[in-house]
Amino acid sequence: MENTETLREWFERVDSEKTSSITALQLKSAFAVGNLEFSLSVVQQMIRMYDFDRNGTMSFEGAKCLFSPGEALVKIGFSLDSPAFYTVCESFDQNKKGRFRLDDFISLCIFVQSTRNIFNSFDTAKQGRVSLDFNQFVYCTANCRI
């Protein structure tokens, strides 16, 4: 959804209770209308990624991020350099057409968040660098699989 006005109209229809935020169940139902069937747990992960005020719902600002993948990565704190960004995107582009579906993007975000969590557990000095022995590397790669 590229047009902000169109997205706003969609968001207001989904926000049936007029709370200025949408729940996972509301989002799941909205996706189902468009023939996008996601499990509730996947939709809850979407909500968590863009729940900027941590209240269990997604605001319009979160919805804008959800439907704008490039900006979304930056908004949720994933600052990758160009080679890392393109490598990750290519690995989640299942059709190899230079773009990916929403569920692929969600998987990409979950992967990047998981790798960041593992990295942070080894970066105890918070310097942005880690040294791993082989066993630690194996542990990391095994835990980053989706």
Rounded to whole angstroms, the Cα distance separating 34 from 75 reads 26
Rounded to whole angstroms, the Cα distance separating 96 from 80 reads 21
pLDDT single digits (tens) 60-72: 998 887 777 676 6
Question: What is the share, in percent, of the chain residues with pLDDT greater than 70?
Answer: 90
Pick from 34, 31, 12: which is nearest to 22 by CA? 12
Token code pair at residue 27: 């989002």
Please identify, among 20, 37, 67, the residue that sits at the C-terminal boundary of a domain. 67
pLDDT at 97: 76
Do 62 and 112 lie in a common domain? no
Q: Is the pLDDT of residue 2 over 70?
A: no
Residue 72 lies in a domain: no
Overall domain count for the chain = 2
Please identify, among 67, 93, 112, the residue that sits at the C-terminal boundary of a domain. 67
Mean per-residue pLDDT, 92-98: 79
Do 56 and 86 lie in a common domain? no
pLDDT single digits (tens) 11-57: 999 999 999 999 999 999 998 887 777 888 888 988 888 888 899 99
Q: Identify the residue with better confidence: 79 or 10.
A: 10
Residue 17 lies in a domain: yes
HSE of 12 in the Cβ direction (CA atoms, 13 Å)?
Answer: 6
What's the domain range around 137? 79-146
| End-to-end C-alpha distance for the chain, whole angstroms | 27
CATH number (domain holding residue 106): 1.10.238.10
pLDDT single digits (tens) 115-129: 888 888 899 999 989
Provide the mean pLDDT of the chain.
Answer: 83
Neighbouring CB atoms inside 10 A of 103's CB total 16
pLDDT at 86: 79
Q: What does the DSSP assignment read for 26-86?
A: HHHHHHHHTT----HHHHHHHHHHT-TT-SSSB-HHHHHHHT-HHHHHHHTT----HHHHH
